[in-house]
A = this chain, B = another copy of it.
């Protein structure tokens, strides 16, 4: 309103396209994570982004396109965050632990990204579910390949007592579920969360009952 604002912060005008796209994606992730795909409205996204609706359509396409762009950006961020935390020259358990720490750090820092990816992406159906499933598969392979491959030792392979694919799905589910739980307990650090999970999947209840405890070796 006032004519003497040095820089009009109300709504910065005439920004380059890349900046606007980022603004829009940020807003979209926020709104999608709050309401889910169907309940989210383009109006709210445009409001949050500080941009008119036509800009969204011009830059990012339809609602579905926009959602896809969100999913892809956040998935890439997550994978990169995990990859950045893994150190290939450590023993398997420590690699797994570091990967998990990175994962929980990401979830804590980017709650909305995680919510969109984990909870909302599957509700759209069709192409997105497949995309997300793919990324889950890549995530598990990235983090747990070493463990699973170590587990399939000595020609045991797939059998009634053991299945790499099944264990992988279970491990990922456990990690995700703990991440959701951690969203309601922000005081638990990522290192502790990762340790808990290690005690479950590395030692197992049997060892825990016996009094054994897993700790990071370093």
Report B-chain residues with C-beta under 8 Å of the C-beta of A163. Answer: 192, 196
B178 touches A176 (CB 8 A): no
Q: How far is the CB of A98 from chain B (nearest CB, A)?
A: 15
Give the contacts of A126-183 with B (CB-CB under 8 A): 147, 150-151, 153-154, 156, 160-163, 165-167, 169-178, 180-181
Q: Who on chain B is nearest to A35 by CB?
A: B125
A167 touches which of B122, B124, B151, B200 (Cβ 8 Å): B200
* A174 engages B181 (CB within 8 Å): no
**Interface residues of A, CB < 8 Å — how many?**
61
Given A36-B38, A206-B204, answer yes or no on A169-B180 (Cβ-Cβ < 8 Å): yes
A124, A166, A167, A213, most chain B CB atoms within 10 A: A166
- 0/1 string, A23-59, CB within 8 A of B gives 1: 0000000000011111100000000000000000000
CB distance from A54 to the nearest CB of B (A): 12
Among B36, B150, B175, B193, point to the contact of A205 (Cβ < 8 A): B150
Measured between beta carbons, the chain B residues less than 8 angstroms from A113 are: none
User: Interface SS of chain A: helix, strand, loop or mixed?
Assistant: helix
- The smallest C-beta distance from A200 to any residue of chain B, in angstroms, reads 5
Q: List the B residue with the shortest CB-CB distance to A214.
A: B161
Is A83 an interface residue when CB atoms closer than 8 A count as contact?
A: no
Counting CB contacts under 8 A, is A209 at the interface?
Answer: yes
Complex: how many Å from CA A196 to CA B208? 18
Q: By the criterion CB–CB under 8 Å, are B200 and A171 in contact?
A: yes
Q: Which residue of B lies closest to A191 (CB)?
A: B160
User: Can you pick out 27 interface pairs between chain A and chain B where the beta carbons lie within 8 Å of each other?
Assistant: A36-B125, A93-B205, A93-B206, A150-B205, A154-B211, A160-B192, A160-B195, A161-B215, A163-B196, A166-B178, A166-B188, A167-B199, A169-B178, A169-B180, A170-B174, A170-B197, A171-B174, A171-B200, A173-B175, A173-B178, A173-B180, A177-B177, A200-B204, A201-B201, A202-B206, A203-B206, A206-B207
**9 nearest CB pairs, A to B:** A173-B177, A204-B204, A38-B38, A174-B174, A169-B181, A170-B174, A173-B173, A166-B196, A203-B204
